[in-house]
Amino acid sequence: MKKKFFNSFLIVSMLLGGCSNYKELNQVSIVVAIGIDYLPKEKKYHVITQIFNPSAIATTTQSGSQSVPVIALDEKGRTILEAVRNVSKKGSRQNIYSHVALIVIGETLAKERSLNYIFDVFERDSKVRVNIPVIIARNKSVGEIMNNITSLDKISAKSIVGKIKNTSALLGENQETLMRQAISAISSSGREPVINGVSIENESESSETLENANKVTSSYDKINGTGIFRDGKLVGWLDGPPAKSIQIIDNLIKETNVQIPCNKKEFDSMELTRVKSMTEIKIKDNIPIINIKIKSIGHIDEVFCNANFDKAKTLNKYEKSAENVIKQSMEKGISEVKKFGGDAFGFGEKLYMVNPKIYKKYEGNWNDTFKKAKVTVSVDVQINNVGMRRKSYPY
């Protein structure tokens, strides 16, 4: 009897009791993106919080009229949190950060202030998840990148995240970098973080208005290059096909393609899948000796030169050409990163995994040791598909 009474009392208490931190939806603002930059002259951080505008959906549903999908509030502070709290002067509702989908870092901040301390505030605060993408505003201010209203995805954070996923799956020059991955790389002495850049194309006075979304040739954000870091600071950019070298070495390529010169004027195209690499590293006379072996499956997907793929010698020719193109691109990418001096490939981590005792000798100045590395690249491409047509069009 006592047990039944206790159970009944517990249920009634749960039904009648409330949550102490309960808030009505019309009392909060949902932050979808955060932008952070540094103002050297003022020695302050500039923080932009992009807030979802629920009235944009309500007005569209009720009357067919449109409102801007997001609202941007910005403030300055000696610390990031001071700037965030200063935003409260401009907002009538308490910000909720659990739905943040993107962190935008200013190029000035990335170059002048080490990211080692920037992510500290996010990792300490449980209100913000650390499994969200991070990008760098390249050649543009953080505000310009965040507040550009595009046609398909009017919320720029959603647009940028979608483009990163799209280009990483199809092109392979960029890979989504989550905050926790950047933190892990910063915490490692044998790897530097790599963070994608984003810029704006066709920018105009109406880029931050709904008018931009109604244009055929509207302004749009574009994934632009891979940021290379050393000691937490941005030291340069890796652009184009050489940027694939990072993804290939880390075995992150889903699919990509290469353009193969078939004569002095034309190029043929080959799709690459199952791109796998193996890295061997050792130290000889205080110099890292790195051997990279790459294997891939090739598919001919576009031909501009007369070629008969019924012949084995034609396939062999295309395989060799693809191998040379990939090798040259890899060597260029590795060479450029070595000039910047930051180990974006994680060769130090790979050395630690196979020989931690040797790595410990170079741990304190691994980036300088990496700049001296001698790297050899070997590539093996096997063509197993030439498409529906064996012979190209005669011309």
What DSSP letter does each residue of 263-325 carry, written as one string?
SSS-EEEEEEEEEEEEEEEEEETTEEEEEEEEEEEEEEEE--S--BTTSHHHHHHHHHHHHHH
Domain contains 355? yes
Dihedrals φ, ψ of 255, to 5°?
Answer: -160, 155
**What average pLDDT does the chain have?**
87
Q: 21-25, 96-100, 247-251, 269-273: which has the minimum mean pLDDT?
A: 21-25
Q: Are 323 and 295 within one domain?
A: yes
Question: Has residue 5 been placed in a domain?
Answer: no
Among 212, 239, 266, the domain boundary falls at: 239
Are 267 and 213 found together in one domain?
A: no
Q: How many domains does the chain have?
A: 2
Same domain membership, residue 120 and residue 202: yes
The helix or strand, by DSSP H or E, that contains position 118, with its residue range, turns out to be: helix 115-118
Q: Residues 179, 258: one domain? A: no
Residue 57 is predicted with a pLDDT of 60
- Nearest to 115, CA basis, from 42, 50, 195: 195
3-state class percentages of the chain: helix first, strand second, coil last, to nearest 5:
35, 30, 30
User: Does residue 17 fall inside a structural domain?
Assistant: no
Separation CA 103–CA 135 (nearest Å): 6
Distance between CA 83 and CA 45 in Å, rounded? 7
Out of 11-15, 51-55, 249-253, least confident range: 11-15
| pLDDT recorded at residue 196 | 97
Whether residue 191 is found in the same domain as residue 101: yes
**CB-CB neighbours of 120 under 10 Å:** 12
Do the domain assignments include residue 18?
Answer: no
- Does any domain span residue 75? yes
pLDDT at 7 > cutoff 60: no
Whether residues 206 and 57 share a domain: the answer is yes
Q: Which of 239, 268, 284 is the last residue of a domain?
A: 239
Is the domain of 76 the same as that of 196? yes
The last residue of one of the domains, among 210, 239, 268, is 239
Of 230, 190, 185, 186, the residue nearest 360 (C-alpha): 190
Strands 70-77 and 44-52: antiparallel
Residues 234 and 245 in one domain: no
Q: What is the CATH number of the domain that holds 251?
A: 3.30.300.210
Q: State how far the Cα of 166 lies from the Cα of 152, in Å rounded to an integer.
A: 14
First and final CA of the chain: distance in angstroms? 95
Does residue 11 lie in a domain region? no
Q: Which amino acid is at 186?
A: I
For residues 279 and 356, membership in a common domain is answered with: yes
Quote the domain boundaries for residue 361: 241-395
1 within some domain: no
* Neighbour-count burial for 5-32, b at 16+ CB within 10 Å, e otherwise: eeeeeeeeeeeeeeeeeeeeeeeebbbb
pTM of the model: 0.86
The per-residue pLDDT for range 115-160, each reduced to its tens digit, is 888 888 888 877 778 899 999 999 999 999 998 888 788 788 889 9
Is 6 domain-assigned?
A: no
Return all residues near 103 (Cβ < 8 A) that are at least 6 apart: 33, 34, 35, 36, 122, 132, 133, 134, 135, 179
Both tokens of residue 226?
């891979």
Please check whether residues 270 and 159 belong to one and the same domain: no
CB 292 within 8 A of CB 376: yes
Q: What does the pLDDT read at residue 46?
A: 96
Query: Of 215, 206, 71, 201, which Cα lies nearest the Cα of 140?
Result: 201
Q: Indicate if 256 and 175 belong to the same structural domain.
A: no
Residue 221 CA to residue 144 CA, distance in Å, equals 10
Residue % of the chain over a pLDDT of 70: 89
pLDDT at residue 353 tops 90: yes
Predicted confidence band at 340 (pLDDT cuts at 50, 70, 90)?
very high
CB 88 within 8 A of CB 53: no
Are 122 and 270 found together in one domain? no
